Amino acid sequence: MSILAGDFTYSARRIAKRLPVSLVIMITLALGIGANSAIFSIFNAVLLQKLPFPAHDELTLVKQIKRLQGDANASFSVKEVDELHHESHAFKSIAEYHTMVFTMVGRNELTRVAAGVVSSDFFNDILRIKPQLGRTFSASDDVIGAPAAVLLTHEFWQSKFGGSKSVVGTYLTMNDRQYQVVGVLPPFPQFPNANDLYMSVSSCPFRSSEFVINSREARMLSVVARMAPDETLEKANTDVDTVSHRIIQANPASYPSQDGYTMSVIPIAEELIREVRPTLYTLLGTALLVLLIACANASGLLLAQNVERQREFAVRSALGCSRWRLARLMLTEVVMLAIGAALFGLALAYIASKFLNVHVASITGLATQAHIDATVLGFTFGLAILAGLIAGALPAMGTRYISSVLRENSEKSTAASHKNRGRKGLVIVQLAVTFVLLMGAALLITTVRNLQRVDLGFSSKNVVVAEMDLNWSRYGTAEEQRNFAKTLESRLQQMAGVQSYAVAATYPLDLAAENNPADRADVVFDDRSSEERSGRINSLVRRVSAGYFSTLGIEIADGRVLLASDDENGAAVAVVNRQLAKQHWPNASPIGHELSLDGGATWLKIVGIVGDEKRFALSEPPRPQVYVPYVQHPSWGRLNILLKATNPSSYEQPIRAMVHELTMCRRSIE
């Protein structure tokens, strides 16, 4: 033992004596180790650790699927959740969930607040989360008419209330209504989305409205359920399938056969990691390759150091040091360097994981659980020792030729040639790994270049977008929404230097529209028979003002675009994109034809055709889109300002001030 201690002492002395080189080796390894530790901390939290909920194997998501439309997230209505609750037998508890955006009024500011609206079982029977302060929701909070109650997330409590314990019992003003804070939640991986606070179902004005409660088609809820302890996933799927069939048979009008409605049950754990798994494997693989390069570099530096140690090794050999002891001595030093590198690496990992967490947390809430714990420490030091052994292996193997230093000169050249072979091997490994990484980088650059060449169908040059969420308590009716949009337009018109502007419910590549049913519709056409109408197409519907096309530079292919005169008093009109026109009138012009977005109840005259603008992704092929005047089809929810000017960033403050003046909240200007 004292011999081993002697090796450590000697190695420490050498490291201290050659500090600059030692630091270079440590930092080289630290970069690789730090990158791996940062990624592993998330990998560990997301893919290796069990969900931090009691009996997590029982936790599932129930999904309604429009199989024939390729829609795996059709959501549930309140009626459907009630039926699932009463008719299914596979679950011990079922809870509903949806998100809303509220405007919280503070002393000097308005804050956009993401609220998860959940039934009481969500925290009690399903996630089984104990509050950090106060209480969670009880069954009485679910009853319509109960006092409005909210639970703060740990993060929101810390950031907005400074972690004050006296917050429980106080009231928050959101969308002109007061909500009592009944408790504070501990940190937990939020899903399906991260929210600032949680609200009982009876507290949500939208969820507790008569329309939402009574309409089978008002589908906006997710369903989270805890299986009964003796149930299996297979039995649960059979169970919800039975319920789904019964509901569809009883209400055929609400479940068109061409949609292929069905239900399925999936484990929450799978849902939480499904999207992020390939990303994490790729990141970890890349980081390991980087570490391999770092090891090769460190190994090269160690080999260079060993040239000056040849005589020392030769003397040790002459004095009876075996090859193994010599290798152990060298590896002791390298492993000590690697452990030093691990300490540097942990510091790097701590910083890097903060950035990585933000990115991965947007894909899975489990990333918020990532931190440097015992497992990550074990991984880091294990990796460091492995890296040290890899980096030190070649120099240690070289010791077998070292006793030749004490022999004839002619033999020294033999040793040198062996060493050269080792260095050449190192260079080959470095080149090979670097080549793999460079290929990956080249592919990435090519992809980015290709994406830059993609015809977007619009121009974002000099355009600024301001997102806001209408306070539906204040702008609940179509008239109020229409008037507000008009007020915004008139205020934008008065701004000096503005080239063009528009208000619109969605804008190109706006992911918020992807999952919003209000921005989609099944389109039917006037020149199709009722049989043919069953083959209707699902289209994105953009509710925009007249300036939308000029602001975004969208090509006018035929006819005209929407005009300011296409208001609530004008004829109902629509503009379609080239893809929709080509798909349904391949040999004729659609201009003058009519289309309906509500199954034939009302009809809109097609007045123009515009180019295909990308909807949600650069890689997607052109898809059908319909443009309608916002003032003819106003709605609550998101409203965006698009403004084009020579110096668009200078309008950030004026827009912010205008919105504030109009007592709305906007969160971001892009």
Site for other proteins in 303-342 (CB under 8 A): 311-312, 314-325
Whose CA is closest to 559, among 624, 610, 502, 612? 610
Query: Considering only 10-18, 587-595, 607-615, 639-647, which stretch makes contact with other proteins by CB under 8 A?
Result: 10-18
Q: Which of 57, 241, 373, 411 is in the footprint of other proteins by CB under 8 A?
A: 411
Q: Which one among 13, 246, 274, 660 touches other proteins, defined by CB under 8 A?
A: 13
Select 230 or 308, whichever has its Cβ closest to other proteins. Answer: 308
- What are the structure tokens assigned to 123, written together? 């925290």
User: Based on CB atoms, which residue is closest to other proteins, 325 or 667?
Assistant: 325
CB of 48 to other proteins, least distance (A): 42
Nearer to other proteins, 246 or 311 (CB): 311
Residue from 108, 166, 249, 410 touching other proteins (CB under 8 A): that is: 410
Whether the upstream peptide bond of residue 256 has omega within 30° of 0, thus cis, is no
Nearer to other proteins, 14 or 482 (CB): 14
Q: Which is it for the CA torsion 405, 410, 412, 418, positive or negative?
A: negative
615, 510 in Cβ contact below 8 A? no
Least distance between other proteins and beta carbon 50 (Å): 48
Instruction: Determine, following the binding rule CB under 8 A, whether residue 6 of this chain makes contact with other proteins.
Output: yes
Minimum distance of other proteins from residue 306's CB (angstroms): 14
Question: What gap in Å lies between CA 351 and CA 111, rounded to an integer?
Answer: 28
Residue 21 CB, nearest approach to other proteins (Å): 14
Q: Tell me the closest approach of the beta carbon of residue 323 to other proteins, in angstroms.
A: 6
CB of 401 to other proteins, least distance (A): 12
Least Å distance, CB 13 to other proteins, is: 6
Single out the segment in contact with other proteins by CB under 8 A; choices: 147-155, 159-167, 399-407, 566-574: 399-407
Per the structure block, which two tokens stand in for 192?
A: 């399906």
Tell the smallest beta-carbon distance from residue 28 to other proteins (Å): 23
DSSP helix, strand, coil percent of the chain (3-state; round to 5): 50, 20, 30
Among 407, 421, 424, 660, binds other proteins (CB under 8 A): 407
Query: Nearer Cβ to other proteins, position 67 or 407?
Result: 407
CB of 410 to other proteins, least distance (A): 5
**Strands (DSSP E) found in 331-469:** 463-469
Rounded CA gap, 426 and 294, in Å? 11
Q: Residue 49 CB, nearest distance to other proteins (Å)?
A: 45
In angstroms, the CA 19 to CA 581 distance is 72
Task: Return the sign of the alpha-carbon dihedral for residues 471, 477, 481, 483.
Answer: negative
Q: Of the candidates 406, 429, 537, 557, which one interacts with other proteins according to CB under 8 A?
A: 406
Range in contact with other proteins (rule: CB under 8 A) among 12-20, 187-195, 206-214, 224-232: 12-20
- Min CB(327)–other proteins separation in Å: 12
Q: Does 66 bind other proteins (CB under 8 A)?
A: no
Asked if residue 569 binds other proteins (CB under 8 A), the reply is: no
**Distance of alpha carbon 395 from alpha carbon 228, whole angstroms:** 60
* Distance in angstroms (rounded) separating the CA atoms of residues 63 and 517: 16
Q: Interface mask (CB under 8 A) for other proteins, residues 351-390, using x and -? A: ----------------------------------------
* Sequence-distant contacts of 472-478: CB under 8 A, at least 24 apart: 472/175, 472/205, 472/206, 472/636, 472/637, 473/175, 473/176, 473/177, 473/205, 474/175, 474/176, 474/663, 475/636, 476/636, 478/634, 478/635
Q: Does 20 bind other proteins (CB under 8 A)?
A: no
In whole angstroms, give the CA distance from residue 72 to residue 66: 6
Nearer to other proteins, 154 or 325 (CB): 325
Residue 114, helix vs strand vs coil: strand
Shorter beta-carbon distance to other proteins: residue 1 or 496: 1
Q: Judged by CB under 8 A, which stretch of 161-169, 292-300, 402-410, 439-447 contacts other proteins?
A: 402-410
**CB of 17 or CB of 107, closer to other proteins:** 17
Smallest gap from Cβ 423 to other proteins, in A, equals 22
- Cα–Cα separations (whole angstroms), residue 300 to 304, 306, 393, 667: 6, 10, 11, 52
What does the alpha-carbon distance between residue 469 and residue 466 come to, in Å, rounded to a whole number? 10
Counting contacts by CB under 8 A, is residue 14 touching other proteins? yes
How many residues touch other proteins under the rule CB under 8 A: the total is: 27
Scanning 7-15, 105-113, 522-530, 631-639 for contacts with other proteins by CB under 8 A, the matching segment is 7-15
The residue (of 12 and 438) whose beta carbon lies closer to other proteins is 12
Choose which of 103, 124, 368, 403 interacts with other proteins (CB under 8 A): 403
CA distance 486 to 499: 18
> What would you report as the CA-atom Rg of the chain, rounded to the nearest whole angstrom?
32
Neighbours of 279 (CB within 10 A): 16
Q: Which residues of 158-187 are buried (b: 16+ CB within 10 A; e: fewer)?
A: eebbeeeeebbeeebebbeeebebbbbbee
Give first-to-last CA distance, the chain, whole Å. Answer: 64
E strand intervals along 186-234? 197-200, 222-227
Report, in Å, the least distance between residue 403 CB and other proteins: 5
- Is the Cα torsion angle 573, 577, 582, 588 positive or negative in sign? positive
Q: How far is the CB of 299 from other proteins (least distance, A)?
A: 21
Residue number, 23 or 429, with CB nearest to other proteins: 23
Contacting residues toward other proteins, per CB under 8 A:
2-3, 6, 10, 13-14, 17, 311-312, 314-325, 403, 406-408, 410-411
